[in-house]
Structure 1
Amino acid sequence: MNPSATTPPLTGPGGPSSTSLWRHRDFRRYLTGQTAGVAGSSISSMAIPVLAVLELDATPGQVAWLAFWGQLPPALLALHAGALADRHSKRRQMITGDLVSATALATVPVAVALDALTLAQLMVVAAVQGAAGVVHDAAAISLLPTLVDRSLIQRSNSRIGSLFAIAATGGSNLGAALTALLGPARALLGDVGSYLLSAWCTARIQARETTPTRTGRRRLRTEIAEGLRYVRDDHRLSVLTWVNATTSLALAALNTLWALYLLRVLEMSATAFGVVLGIGALGAAAGALSAPAVARRFGPGPMMLGALALTPLTQVPLLLASPGLGWELVIGAALFLQLACAGAAGTTQRSIRQIITEDSMQARMQAVSTWLTSAARPLGALLAGGLGTWAGVRPALVTGACLLVVPLVVLARSPLRALRQMPAPPPAPESTGHTTGQPPAAAGPTVPAPGSASAAEGSMDGGMP
């Protein structure tokens, strides 16, 4: 690495554990920008389904195709975006993604004003946003370890996860209010503004980034292959990645028809739909905030196993529900529990992966997870669309709920279920230069080999992608 291109990560006079994250200017700017993006995306998550279902009269198959086109670009571009983020400025890549997303989304209210909006345009906008989003996210997630010390990663992710959930709550309710007052198309202008705010905050981050010293020109595919081998050869990274991918497949099948099911089958109003999303986001905030304490008390593995075991059960009220206020409250409570599990698990699994990964491989490591989870999402969307068209919406949701058992099995069969403590970071490289792409040896609390899983009982804390 080039020492002149780095600044010390956030630490305090009494060590990292004594440091207040809120006093770190660059972390605050990073958090503000990303939180604004989450709030804006929640507005779109509220407004776009309403726009497609209620105003463009989309069928279950068309709703599935809309989800498919939004989820396809990350599956195609994630590995390239991760390699570029490890090669070039992460902040510049984040800003570019934000500006492209803002431009694409702004075309929707313009088209509505001209009475020219079609489902085809919505699908194009979804695809462009998906591509810009993966470019942004590959850089954003991998930027955090350069801003704070590794010992503060879990605390940082806990704060980020909780504020993201609160922002999602505010965004959902704001989206519901804007949709009711201005219509779903004009409500999307709130998301356009959030992208611009995110770009502005990212541009104001002053810390220099760690950039690799390169002795010659290397092909992008070579660096992508390095990232794939890096994740494959570290069993901790590979298991967490497959847990995320199988979870994404199941959630994509559920989420594709979830809005249509609530709005059309259960006759939920747009306002009630936004409120239910907001209640669920509060659960994600509670889960993220409690993750460090729960992981210390029970270990990340048992917590993850418990979260994955509870998640399929939270779908039962949705499948049994009928129209009415009482069932709307039950669905909101079930979503609260589901997202609490996701928040706690997601905060910790992301922290584990960031802690054990070398700086020069952060974006590519994350890109491999994004690639697999993103590839699973279009498959889940198409599965839901096919089942919803031929068998009905409720059978499609039952299938999605059953698929949520798969990540539980993947984790239960892994040695990571015995991880009782957060792992130690990899040792600092002894020399500068380009990374070899070799995964770090497990340090600190070890994970037993597959043949000796009974020798330890503990935890991994993972979460939904």
Structure 2
Amino acid sequence: MTTSTHTAKAAKGASADLRRLVASECASLSGSAVSTVALPTLAVLELHSSTTQIAALAFLGQLPNAVVALPAGALSDRYAKRPQMIAADLTAAGALATIPAAAFAEVLGIGQLYAVAVVLGITKVMHDSAAISYLAMLVEPDRLQHANSRLGAASSVADTAGSNAGAALVGAIGAARSVFVDVLSYLVSALLVWRIRTPEPAAPAEGRRSLSRDIREGLRYVVGQPTIRTVIAALSTLSFGLAIMNTYWAYYLLTTLGATPTAFGVIVGAGGMGSLAGALLTSRVTDRLGVGPVITTGFAVSPLAQVPLLLAEPGRGWQIVLAATLAVQLFWATAAGISQRTLRQILCAPEFQCRMQAASTTVTAGSRPLAAATAGALALVLAVPTVLATGTLIQVLPVLLLLNSPVRALRAMPTPPARPAVPPAREEAS
């Protein structure tokens, strides 16, 4: 076989595998979007959970980000990523399946939701640690933003469809039974990842290494990269403010603002449409405004978009306003998210990709358990709208950080470091 023929077949195989990875992420996200509607409805309206229990549920769901991300990233840089992704999907499916089973047996309680939230948090960290870095292996650096945009667009469609389906399913068959859709989505995701055939670069043979050493090495690398460090710091601060709000966002809509489960799903679905538009238009927006301004604008829109929620009152008119505002917020959040993720992937050396993503997860998503606990503590002495306002004010801080950094003036993606050679794909993989 000639070199050109082999290269063409390898490229064709990589393209097919990229489609499988995108489809896998979409399957998982569409099911999770159903659960995004079903689980809050189950906790608030069927189990009649208190504000403290809602905060505890949010806290436990986010806790694995702070505890598991760094070890997961080190392991992903050391071992093959596909088995980790498959195992995580299958474990998540098993955990979710216990919810409708317990509901059918009439033994479902908030304690089980706590346990499932912890398991789902762990599996998400394990899956995402491998999946985000695996994408950078399937495409060349100059195509990475396009691949991220494609993944973001497909994911937004899946998220929107899942949210709307979740609203319809909750109304038709109940919140607990709707969770079966998420179980199925994880099984489909695992199957699609199993079908990926692109080989991964072999890890360097350095003998038996300490996991803690790998973690420390990854953290030192991230701290030593100014742009990566700045973006992650901004992300973590924004995440903390949003997590304070998200602890009671669904609760506030479903109780104080009187939104029905269907209306709640429609609002979430509108946000998904905005996210889809942002994913589709990211390349055009960054070409016109520049990478740095898009990232900065995405962060700046977030606190502004919370103002209508703080002013809202019960009624369909305000629900329409909140849906439109969420669509705008997620348009810019998605454009900024794709841009900053691509920027970090391009700047990061290949051997540190998973650990860089894990460091970002630890300080970004890992701040959410503290935020949920903070929200719960504040709710004991303050009204929920005041807690939401506190989360909004915190979201201003990362904007100031980006405005005083080189990221603000960055117009184009930088030149990436060299990538390691990947062994040729097997003939049967093409």
TM-score if structure 2 supplies the norm length? 0.94
Instruction: Give the direction of change, closer, same or farther, for the CA distance of 1:23–1:238 in structure 2 (3 Å limit).
Output: closer
The CA distance in 2 between the partners of 1:375 and 1:26, in whole Å, is: 30
Once residues 49 and 24 of structure 2 are traced to their aligned partners in structure 1, the CA distance between those partners, rounded to angstroms, is 33
- Of 188, 212, 228 in structure 2, the residue corresponding to residue 221 of structure 1 is 212
How far is 1:368 from its partner? 0.3
Map Cα deviations across residues 190-239 of structure 1 (whole Å, 9 max, x no partner).
00000000000000001001121213111111111111011100101101
What CA RMSD, in Å, does the superposition of the two structures yield over aligned residues?
Answer: 1.8
Q: Match for residue 427 of structure 2?
A: none
Equivalent residues of 1:86, 1:211 under 8 A apart: no
CA distance in 2, matches of 1:226, 1:280: 38
Residue 175 of structure 1 pairs with residue 166 of structure 2: yes
SS in 2 for 1:268: coil
Identical-pair percentage:
46
The equivalent residue for 2:321 is 330
Structure 1 residue aligned with 2:197, among 186, 194, 206?
Answer: 206
CA distance in 2, matches of 1:216, 1:265: 59
Take 1:127 and 1:117, find their aligned partners in 2: how far apart are those partners?
A: 16
Is the contact made by 1:280 and 1:337 (CA closer than 8 Å) also made in structure 2?
Answer: yes
Match of 1:350 among 333, 336, 341: 341
**In 2, distance between residues paired with 1:335 and 1:143?**
30
Q: Is the aligned partner of 1:266 residue 2:266?
A: no
1:254 to 245, 249, 264: 245
Q: Which runs of 5+ in 2 are unaligned?
A: 1-5, 424-430
Name which of 381, 389, 392 aligns with 1:398: 389
Q: Is the 8 A contact 2:294 2:339 kept in 1?
A: no
Deviates more, 1:416-425 or 1:380-389: 380-389
Task: Give 1:428 shift.
Answer: 4.4
Find out whether 1:363 has 2:320 as its counterpart.
no
SS at match of 1:208: coil
Inter-partner Cα distance in structure 1 for 2:68 and 2:202: 22
Number of the residue aligned with 1:56: 47
Q: 5 Å matches for 1:107-256?
A: 107-256=98-247
In structure 2, the CA distance between the partners of 1:234 and 1:9, relative to structure 1 (3 Å rule), is farther
How many Å apart are 1:320 and its aligned residue?
A: 0.6
Q: Is the aligned partner of 1:94 residue 2:94?
A: no
Question: Structure 2 matches for 1:33-72, cutoff 5 A?
Answer: 33-72=24-63
The match for 1:4 is: none
In 2: Cα distance, 1:8 partner to 1:246 partner: 44
**d(CA) in 1 for partners of 2:206, 2:304:** 53
Q: Which amino acid aligns with 1:338?
A: Q
Q: Counterpart of 1:145 in structure 2: which amino acid?
A: A
Deviation of 1:374 after TM superposition, in Å, equals 2.2
Distance in 1 (alpha carbons) for counterparts of 2:274 and 2:13: 23
Whole-angstrom distance in 1 between the partners of 2:40 and 2:7: 44
Whether the 8 Å CA contact 1:357–1:426 is kept in 2: the answer is yes
Amino acid in the other structure paired with 1:51: L
Counterpart position of 1:450: none
1:291 aligned onto 2:287: no
Amino acid across the alignment from 1:119: I
How has the CA–CA distance of structure 1 residues 116 and 405 changed in structure 2, closer, same or farther, with 3 Å as cutoff? same
Q: In structure 2, what is the Cα distance between the partners aligned to 1:221 and 1:304?
A: 33
Contact map agreement 1:9 1:149 (CA 8 A) in 2: no
The corresponding residue for 2:3 is none
Counterparts of 2:420 and 2:366, CA distance in 1? 33
Q: What CA distance in whole angstroms lies between the structure 1 residues aligned with 2:33 and 2:96? A: 14
Q: CA deviation at 1:379?
A: 1.3
Residue 429 of structure 1 deviates from its aligned partner by 6.3
Higher relative CO (Cα under 8 Å, sequence separation at least 6) belongs to 2
Once the two structures are superposed, residues 364-419 of structure 1 have per-residue CA deviations (whole angstroms, 9 ceiling, x without a partner) of 11000001112210111112122223211100000011111011011111112121
User: How far apart in 1 are the matches of 2:341 and 2:419?
Assistant: 20
Kindly indicate whether the alpha-carbon contact (under 8 Å) linking 1:40 and 1:195 is maintained by their aligned counterparts in 2.
yes
Instruction: Call closer, same or farther: CA 1:392–1:157 in 2, change over 3 Å.
Output: same
Unaligned runs of 5+ in 1: 1-6, 13-20, 433-465
More helix by share: 2
Cα gap change, 1:254/1:161 in structure 2, threshold over 3 Å: closer, same or farther? same
Residue 16 of structure 2 is aligned to residue 25 of structure 1: yes
The one of 69, 72, 76 aligned to 1:78: 69
Distance of aligned partners of 1:405 and 1:120 in 2 relative to their CA distance in 1, 3 Å threshold:
same
- Cα distance in 2 for partners of 1:9, 1:378 equals 47
Question: Please, what TM-score do these two structures have when normalized by structure 1?
Answer: 0.87
Contact between 2:245 and 2:387, CA under 8 Å: does it hold in 1? yes
**What is the 5 A alignment of 1:384-423?**
384-423=375-414
Displacement of 1:291 in angstroms is 1.2
Alpha carbons 2:153, 2:275 under 8 Å: kept: yes
Give the Cα–Cα distance (whole angstroms) in 2 for the partners of residues 122 and 249 of structure 1. Answer: 23
CA distance in 2, matches of 1:226, 1:163: 34
SS of the residue corresponding to residue 196 of structure 2 reads coil
- Structure 1 residue 46: deviation in Å? 0.5
CA drift at 1:53: 0.2
Mapped contact 1:10–1:24 kept (Cα < 8 A): no
> How far is the alpha carbon of 1:175 from its aligned partner?
0.6
In the TM superposition, residue 427 of structure 1 has moved relative to its aligned partner by 2.9
Aligned to 1:321: 312
Once residues 347 and 211 of structure 1 are traced to their aligned partners in structure 2, the CA distance between those partners, rounded to angstroms, is: 28
Q: Distance in 1 between matches of 2:419 and 2:122?
A: 34
1: CA distance between counterparts of 2:148 and 2:380?
A: 39
Measure the CA separation in 1 of the matches of 2:333 and 2:219. 25
Q: Residues 46-76 of structure 1: CA distance to partner in whole angstroms, max 9, x if unpaired?
A: 1000000000101111101000000001210
